[in-house]
Amino acid sequence: MKNPITSLFLPLVLGFLVLTGCKETPVLKSGTVPGKDFPYAFDKSPFISPKIIQDFATWSSDNGDAIVAINVLEAQGSNRYCGDALVRNTPGEYPYVYHETATAGSFSEFGYRYVGRTSSGVYVLHTTDCGGGSGVYHNLMLVTFEYDQSLNCDWDKNVVQPGEKRILIKKQGEFALGDRWDGKLSVKGDSIFVGQDVGWFADSGGTGGGPASTERKSHVLQIHLAR
């Protein structure tokens, strides 16, 4: 005959163990770089690799966003993103951070310049991409940072469970400025000021290839994030 106390107590113990084993570690999220111990930056050394930012850029032959998140701490210094970032300083502006590629007589360059961070935690970058021809394509790229949770496998216990916390850099958007665009950019609050194009094509009607160039006027972009 079964002990009635054991019959009542055993399901409670099993239930507690199941709930404990299945409990998920909460994923912490943040719209800003998490903490002062974060070792990399857009505006000072050590810089976030321009190769990481380039991986976010949409190819001219494609549409949409193919890559939207990268584990920034693991990516920095990895073989995939190896190589020191080159820096070009201009008085009164944040450093221009870039890398160059030269193969079989062809030369290409991709880089970014930090514009600012909105009050809602969106980092605004001014990127340039030169694939070796005469065009130098300028874009605005918006990125954020957030915590993420990895999963590890314990083969001895046959369990997949939460592992190390990760810090993701996430692409939120990218907007064309135009070929050889040249204008003022700034961030205030949740607004991005995009000044009139005074670049290469300005004297011929502003046909630089992007909406900011063809319209030949300034814009103030208001950032509205989903809640």
Please report the pLDDT score of residue 215 as a whole number: 66
Instruction: In whole angstroms, give the CA distance from residue 146 to residue 142.
Output: 14
Dihedral sign, CA of 99, 134, 90, 173? negative
| Residue extents of the structural domains in the chain | 24-179
Report d(CA 197, CA 187) in Å as an integer: 17
Question: 206: part of which helix (H) or strand (E)?
Answer: none
Question: Tell me, what's the pLDDT at 58?
Answer: 86
Q: Which residues pair with 161 in a beta bridge?
A: 152
Distance of CA 102 to the CA centre of its chain: 25
**Whole-prediction pTM:** 0.79
User: Across the chain, how many H-helices and E-strands are there?
Assistant: 4, 10
Q: What is the C-alpha separation between 52 and 111, in angstroms, rounded? A: 10
Asked if the bond preceding 34 is cis, omega within 30° of 0, the reply is no
Q: Which runs of E-coded beta strand occur in the chain? A: 69-71, 86-88, 96-103, 106-117, 123-130, 137-154, 159-179, 185-188, 191-194, 219-222
Per DSSP, what are the bridge partners of residue 124? 116, 142
pLDDT tens by residue, the chain, 227 residues:
545 544 444 444 334 333 333 334 333 444 445 667 789 999 999 999 999 999 999 887 778 888 999 999 999 988 898 888 899 999 999 999 999 887 777 788 999 999 999 999 999 999 999 877 778 889 999 999 988 888 999 999 999 999 888 899 999 999 999 888 889 999 999 999 999 888 776 655 545 455 666 667 899 999 998 76
Instruction: Please give the C-alpha separations between residue 92 and each of 17, 89, 95, in angstroms, as whole numbers.
Output: 61, 9, 9
